[in-house]
Amino acid sequence: MKIKEVIVVEGKDDTARIKQAVDADTIETNGSAVNSYIINQIKHAKEKRGIIIFTDPDYPGQRIRHIISNEVPGCKHAFLPKAEAKAKHDKGIGIEHASVISIKKALENVYEVAEEFDNEITREDLLDYGLLGGEGAKDRRKRLGLRLNIGYTNGKQLLKRLTMFQISKQLFIQSIEQIIQEENNE
Protein backbone atom coordinates (compact mmCIF):
# COMPACT_ATOMS: atom_id res chain seq x y z
CA MET A 1 0.00 0.00 0.00
CA LYS A 2 1.52 3.30 -1.15
CA ILE A 3 0.68 6.47 0.80
CA LYS A 4 0.92 9.72 -1.17
CA GLU A 5 0.90 12.02 1.86
CA VAL A 6 3.84 12.40 4.25
CA ILE A 7 3.08 10.84 7.64
CA VAL A 8 4.07 12.80 10.76
CA VAL A 9 5.21 10.50 13.58
CA GLU A 10 7.00 10.99 16.88
CA GLY A 11 10.24 9.08 16.32
CA LYS A 12 12.42 6.75 14.30
CA ASP A 13 10.89 3.59 15.81
CA ASP A 14 7.47 4.76 14.57
CA THR A 15 8.95 5.36 11.11
CA ALA A 16 10.47 1.88 11.04
CA ARG A 17 7.16 0.27 12.03
CA ILE A 18 5.13 2.25 9.49
CA LYS A 19 7.57 1.30 6.71
CA GLN A 20 6.94 -2.36 7.59
CA ALA A 21 3.22 -1.78 6.98
CA VAL A 22 3.09 0.65 4.04
CA ASP A 23 5.23 2.42 1.48
CA ALA A 24 5.37 5.97 2.87
CA ASP A 25 7.62 8.86 3.78
CA THR A 26 7.62 10.29 7.30
CA ILE A 27 8.62 13.36 9.23
CA GLU A 28 9.66 12.69 12.81
CA THR A 29 8.88 15.27 15.50
CA ASN A 30 11.48 13.74 17.85
CA GLY A 31 9.08 13.81 20.75
CA SER A 32 6.80 16.54 22.02
CA ALA A 33 9.26 19.41 21.62
CA VAL A 34 7.99 20.31 18.14
CA ASN A 35 10.23 23.15 16.99
CA SER A 36 9.86 25.69 14.19
CA TYR A 37 12.18 23.70 11.89
CA ILE A 38 9.86 20.65 12.09
CA ILE A 39 6.75 22.84 11.66
CA ASN A 40 8.29 24.38 8.52
CA GLN A 41 9.09 20.90 7.16
CA ILE A 42 5.48 19.86 7.78
CA LYS A 43 4.12 23.03 6.11
CA HIS A 44 6.28 22.42 3.05
CA ALA A 45 5.27 18.74 2.83
CA LYS A 46 1.59 19.67 3.21
CA GLU A 47 1.82 22.07 0.25
CA LYS A 48 3.57 19.47 -1.93
CA ARG A 49 1.96 16.15 -0.96
CA GLY A 50 -0.35 16.51 2.01
CA ILE A 51 0.15 15.44 5.63
CA ILE A 52 -1.27 12.66 7.79
CA ILE A 53 -0.69 13.16 11.51
CA PHE A 54 -0.25 9.73 13.12
CA THR A 55 0.90 10.13 16.72
CA ASP A 56 0.78 7.80 19.70
CA PRO A 57 -2.58 7.42 21.49
CA ASP A 58 -1.34 8.99 24.72
CA TYR A 59 -1.12 12.49 26.20
CA PRO A 60 2.18 13.48 24.51
CA GLY A 61 0.85 12.20 21.17
CA GLN A 62 -2.36 14.21 21.56
CA ARG A 63 -0.30 17.28 22.48
CA ILE A 64 1.84 16.92 19.35
CA ARG A 65 -1.29 16.43 17.21
CA HIS A 66 -2.79 19.60 18.70
CA ILE A 67 0.38 21.68 18.15
CA ILE A 68 0.69 20.59 14.52
CA SER A 69 -3.04 21.02 13.80
CA ASN A 70 -2.90 24.59 15.10
CA GLU A 71 0.28 25.48 13.21
CA VAL A 72 -0.57 23.63 9.98
CA PRO A 73 -4.35 23.65 9.43
CA GLY A 74 -5.92 21.17 7.04
CA CYS A 75 -3.85 18.09 7.88
CA LYS A 76 -5.39 14.63 7.72
CA HIS A 77 -5.47 12.47 10.86
CA ALA A 78 -5.01 8.76 11.52
CA PHE A 79 -5.77 7.23 14.92
CA LEU A 80 -4.65 4.03 16.56
CA PRO A 81 -6.65 2.69 19.52
CA LYS A 82 -4.61 2.48 22.74
CA ALA A 83 -5.25 -1.26 23.01
CA GLU A 84 -3.59 -1.79 19.62
CA ALA A 85 -0.54 0.30 20.54
CA LYS A 86 0.53 -1.41 23.77
CA ALA A 87 3.88 -3.09 24.13
CA LYS A 88 3.71 -6.75 25.05
CA HIS A 89 6.44 -6.80 27.70
CA ASP A 90 6.47 -3.32 29.19
CA LYS A 91 4.18 -0.39 29.83
CA GLY A 92 5.01 1.44 26.60
CA ILE A 93 2.32 2.74 24.28
CA GLY A 94 3.06 3.80 20.75
CA ILE A 95 2.83 3.30 17.01
CA GLU A 96 6.07 1.31 17.17
CA HIS A 97 4.26 -1.43 19.16
CA ALA A 98 1.29 -1.76 16.80
CA SER A 99 0.79 -4.63 14.41
CA VAL A 100 1.16 -4.12 10.67
CA ILE A 101 -2.56 -4.84 10.30
CA SER A 102 -3.50 -2.17 12.88
CA ILE A 103 -1.31 0.42 11.16
CA LYS A 104 -2.80 -0.36 7.75
CA LYS A 105 -6.32 -0.14 9.16
CA ALA A 106 -5.60 3.24 10.80
CA LEU A 107 -4.17 4.60 7.55
CA GLU A 108 -7.18 3.34 5.58
CA ASN A 109 -9.49 5.28 7.92
CA VAL A 110 -7.85 8.68 7.68
CA TYR A 111 -9.92 11.75 8.48
CA GLU A 112 -9.62 15.01 6.63
CA VAL A 113 -10.45 18.09 8.64
CA ALA A 114 -12.62 20.63 6.86
CA GLU A 115 -12.20 24.33 7.39
CA GLU A 116 -15.96 24.87 7.72
CA PHE A 117 -18.49 22.38 9.05
CA ASP A 118 -21.83 23.17 10.62
CA ASN A 119 -22.19 20.53 13.30
CA GLU A 120 -25.68 19.70 14.47
CA ILE A 121 -24.43 17.68 17.46
CA THR A 122 -24.79 19.65 20.69
CA ARG A 123 -23.43 19.39 24.20
CA GLU A 124 -26.95 18.39 25.24
CA ASP A 125 -26.77 15.41 22.86
CA LEU A 126 -23.57 14.32 24.60
CA LEU A 127 -25.28 14.63 27.98
CA ASP A 128 -28.43 12.82 26.79
CA TYR A 129 -26.36 9.84 25.60
CA GLY A 130 -24.30 9.64 28.77
CA LEU A 131 -21.01 10.77 27.25
CA LEU A 132 -20.31 13.56 29.75
CA GLY A 133 -20.04 12.99 33.48
CA GLY A 134 -21.74 10.14 35.21
CA GLU A 135 -21.06 6.47 35.41
CA GLY A 136 -19.77 4.83 32.24
CA ALA A 137 -19.19 8.09 30.32
CA LYS A 138 -15.47 7.48 29.85
CA ASP A 139 -16.05 3.94 28.57
CA ARG A 140 -18.75 5.16 26.14
CA ARG A 141 -16.40 7.85 24.80
CA LYS A 142 -13.71 5.19 24.29
CA ARG A 143 -16.14 2.96 22.42
CA LEU A 144 -17.42 5.87 20.34
CA GLY A 145 -13.87 6.91 19.45
CA LEU A 146 -13.09 3.37 18.30
CA ARG A 147 -16.30 3.01 16.31
CA LEU A 148 -15.86 6.36 14.54
CA ASN A 149 -12.05 6.07 14.20
CA ILE A 150 -11.51 9.45 15.84
CA GLY A 151 -9.49 8.29 18.82
CA TYR A 152 -10.30 8.64 22.51
CA THR A 153 -11.03 12.07 23.90
CA ASN A 154 -12.05 13.47 27.24
CA GLY A 155 -15.49 14.99 27.76
CA LYS A 156 -14.36 18.56 27.14
CA GLN A 157 -12.82 17.72 23.77
CA LEU A 158 -15.44 15.30 22.42
CA LEU A 159 -17.70 17.85 20.72
CA LYS A 160 -14.68 19.56 19.18
CA ARG A 161 -13.37 16.23 17.81
CA LEU A 162 -16.79 15.28 16.40
CA THR A 163 -16.94 18.65 14.64
CA MET A 164 -13.33 18.54 13.49
CA PHE A 165 -13.90 15.22 11.74
CA GLN A 166 -17.32 16.17 10.36
CA ILE A 167 -19.25 13.43 12.11
CA SER A 168 -22.87 13.91 11.15
CA LYS A 169 -25.58 13.87 13.78
CA GLN A 170 -27.10 10.83 12.03
CA LEU A 171 -23.84 8.86 12.22
CA PHE A 172 -23.29 10.00 15.81
CA ILE A 173 -26.76 8.84 16.92
CA GLN A 174 -26.51 5.58 15.00
CA SER A 175 -23.11 4.82 16.55
CA ILE A 176 -23.96 5.74 20.15
CA GLU A 177 -27.26 3.84 20.01
CA GLN A 178 -25.40 0.72 18.86
CA ILE A 179 -22.98 1.17 21.76
CA ILE A 180 -25.86 1.51 24.23
CA GLN A 181 -27.53 -1.58 22.77
CA GLU A 182 -24.26 -3.53 23.15
CA GLU A 183 -24.03 -2.36 26.79
CA ASN A 184 -27.58 -3.57 27.46
CA ASN A 185 -26.73 -6.98 25.96
CA GLU A 186 -23.59 -7.45 28.09
pLDDT digits (tens, 9 = 90+) for 19-45: 999 999 999 998 777 999 999 999 999
Q: Is residue 21 in a domain?
A: yes
Provide the pLDDT confidence category of residue 82 given band limits of 50, 70 and 90.
confident
Residue 67 maps to a domain: yes
The answer to whether residues 22 and 42 belong to one domain is yes
Residue 164 lies in a domain: yes
pLDDT tens, position by position, 140-172: 999 999 898 888 888 888 988 888 778 888 999
Sheet with 76-77, strands from edge to edge, namely: 26-28, 6-9, 51-53, 76-77, 111-112
In this predicted model, which residue has the larger pLDDT, 87 or 23?
23
| Residue-averaged pLDDT of the chain | 89
Same domain, 42 and 102: yes
Q: Which of 78, 71, 28, 75 is nearest to 57 (CA)?
A: 78
Q: Indicate whether 102 and 173 sit together in one domain.
A: no
Buried b (16+ CB within 10 A) or exposed e, 115-145: eeeeeebeeebbeebbbbeeeebeebbbbbb
Q: Is residue 82 part of a domain?
A: yes
Q: Which has the closest alpha carbon to 146: 84, 87, 96, 91?
A: 84
Residue 103's pLDDT is 95
Model pLDDT, residue 115: 58
Q: What is the C-alpha to C-alpha distance for residues 152 and 80, in angstroms, rounded to an integer? A: 9
Residue 118: the pLDDT is: 63
Burial label for 180, CB within 10 Å (0-12, 13-18, 19+), is: middle
Q: Check whether residue 75 and residue 155 sit in a common domain.
A: no
In this prediction the pTM is 0.72
User: Domain residues for 167?
Assistant: 123-185
Helix axes 100-108, 12-21, angle to 10 degrees: 80
According to the model, what pLDDT value does residue 100 have?
94
Q: What pLDDT sits at residue 14?
A: 95
Question: Are residue 24 and residue 98 in the same domain, yes or no?
Answer: yes
Residue 151 has what pLDDT? 83
Alpha helices in 22-168 (DSSP H): 36-48, 59-71, 100-108, 123-128, 137-148, 155-164
- For the chain, how many structural domains are there in total? 2
**pLDDT (0 to 100) of residue 26:** 97
Question: What is the CATH classification number for the domain harbouring 55?
Answer: 3.40.50.140
Can you tell me the mean pLDDT for 113-137? 83
Residues 77 and 128 in one domain: no
Percent of the chain clearing pLDDT 70 (strictly above): 95
Answer whether residue 1 is part of any domain. Answer: no
